[in-house]
Amino acid sequence: MLLAIDESGERISPYKGGVAKCSICNSKVIAVCGIINIHHWRHEINPNCDPWQEHETEWHRSWKNEFPKDWQEIVVKENDEIHRADVKTPNGLVLELQNSSILAPIIQEREAFYKNMIWLINADSFKDNFEIYSKVNSKLDEIKNYYKQYDYSSSNWYVNSLEEELASLIPERDRLIRMVDSKESLFINYSMDLDNFDFVFSKTMSINNQHGNFTHENQHIQEIKEYKANLQLRKTDKENINKKIKLIQSFEFAKINGYEKYRYVDFKLVNASSFNKCKVVKIDSINQLFPEIVSINSELSFNSYSNRRDVLLLMNLEDDLRNCFEKCIEYNGRISNLHYLINQKTEDVKTELEKYLKEKTEKYKIEFERAKNELSNIQFRIESKATEIHTVHEEIENSNKELREQHLKEKIDKEIAAKKKLKGQYVYHWKHKRKSWDFSKNKLFLDFDTHIFQIKSNTNLVKMSKEEFIEMVKNWNR
């Protein structure tokens, strides 16, 4: 105990060498004033004058010292019972400090005696039997998990579908780029051919490999080929006729009266079938006044003369020569006609080639322009789509930003509200419950050393600091 009664009946604190009396049993108490423990009084003989008084510890003493001396160790008398309350406030509240375990009947007995009382129980020996959860922390976890479910990413099914549409336009654009290139080069090739038309024309006519389709399909070029082949044949004919004429003209005239148109011809140059055009003259009669001239009547006769050395062959070749000249004229006519046709056809080819090149140039110019238009059209669509995607992205990001800000504000509000509402509230669970305290009707406080818990129910605790607890006791009102 911290207070004893001196000779004049005053409540006094221990002092070195002090002796005084117990406020209940009146027996002698002596002061214990060591270095370590709080100074206190101790019964010299009868240590258990108050049966409720448990063995006093430093825990008891330091708690009593939290209150004014006048409130400490107050003797309470009721009928014939006398007890010493650990702390009793001027408002009449008794604070009972309980260090060790206690039986249920004793709890009830004390509560019945003091009535207006609260318990402070030293939980030091059993606080590990508690599982305690902060209600604030549970609520904060709950709030945190609630907002975790939101997805603030900037893509969604709509953006994905736009991106797919954009991607589907790319192959078409690439195809059109190739198309523009090929049409442009065709257009350039044909227009260059037009610019160098004379050169292209001469190539077309000579090698026949320029503008294959044109050459292949053009009727005139085929005809010109035939004309040229024909021309070659006629020229050969004409050469042969000219050779024949020269040969005939190389034969000597006979200079025989009546046979002036006859020429001397070598038997070897004449075919026997031409016997009716032939005559023979005896060589030794040539210079006579009337040379001996014989007609040939058959091939047999021709052959027999041809083996003789005393005759020469005479032939009248004037008809042949005339025929040759006539043929020569005819061939010339045909040759110049072919030349004429070839020239005319060549002019036709020229006209048609020019027309062909112009048509092709125009065709590819149109196709080139059309492909360019289609390309710029699809490029416009691609740019629009990209802009749309960008805009939608921004919209989503902005709305996400707003949502995120709104959520953050909500979350902070909820957290503040939870902290306010649940401040100091804990959920607990006894691992090994001390059942005796179930029989208490009064308020129970547990000293966890660093703080105090009030037991609110079988599951709830309210936390407070030591200072808050002391203030609460000091200001207690019934």
Nearest distance from residue 48's CB to Zn ion, in Å?
8
Inter-residue long-range contacts of 81-84, CB under 8 Å, 24+ positions, other chains counted: 81/113, 82/24, 82/50, 83/24, 83/50, 83/52, 83/113, 83/114, 84/1, 84/23, 84/24, 84/50, 84/52, 84/53
Q: Which residue, 24 or 248, is less far from Zn ion as judged by CB?
A: 24
Q: Which residue, 49 or 143, is less far from Zn ion as judged by CB?
A: 49
Residue nearest to Zn ion (CB): 49
Q: Which residue, 22 or 176, is less far from Zn ion as judged by CB?
A: 22
Q: Which two tokens stand for residue 452?
A: 């105090």
Q: Write the burial class of residue 402 (CB in 10 Å: 0-12 exposed, 13-18 middle, 19+ buried).
A: exposed
Nearest distance from residue 76's CB to Zn ion, in Å?
14
Q: Which two tokens stand for residue 312?
A: 């020469």
Nearest distance from residue 63's CB to Zn ion, in Å?
20
Q: CA geometry: angle at 367 spanning 361 and 372, to 5°?
A: 125
Nearest distance from residue 92's CB to Zn ion, in Å?
23
Provide the 8-state DSSP code for 450.
Answer: S
Nearest distance from residue 440's CB to Zn ion, in Å?
26
Pairing assessment for the beta strands 117-122 and 293-295 based on DSSP bridges:
unpaired
Nearest distance from residue 453's CB to Zn ion, in Å?
33
Q: Which two tokens stand for residue 402?
A: 């707003």
Nearest distance from residue 55's CB to Zn ion, in Å?
14
Q: Which residue, 20 or 317, is less far from Zn ion as judged by CB?
A: 20
Q: Which residue, 22 or 136, is less far from Zn ion as judged by CB?
A: 22
Nearest Cα neighbor of 343 from 210, 197, 224, 216 is 224
Which residues, at least 6 apart from 313, have a Cβ–Cβ distance to it below 8 Å? 264, 265, 266, 267, 270, 278, 279, 280, 305, 306
Q: Which residue, 49 or 254, is less far from Zn ion as judged by CB?
A: 49
Is the distance from CB of 315 to CB of 270 less than 8 angstroms? yes
Strand partners, 75: 84
Nearest distance from residue 25's CB to Zn ion, in Å?
3
Q: Which residue, 6 or 438, is less far from Zn ion as judged by CB?
A: 6
End-to-end CA gap in the chain: 27
Residue spans of beta strands (DSSP E) within 284-329? 293-295, 311-316
Between CA 228 and CA 80 the distance in angstroms is 161
Q: Which residue, 24 or 231, is less far from Zn ion as judged by CB?
A: 24
Which residues contact Zn ion (rule: CB under 5 A)?
A: 22, 24-25, 49
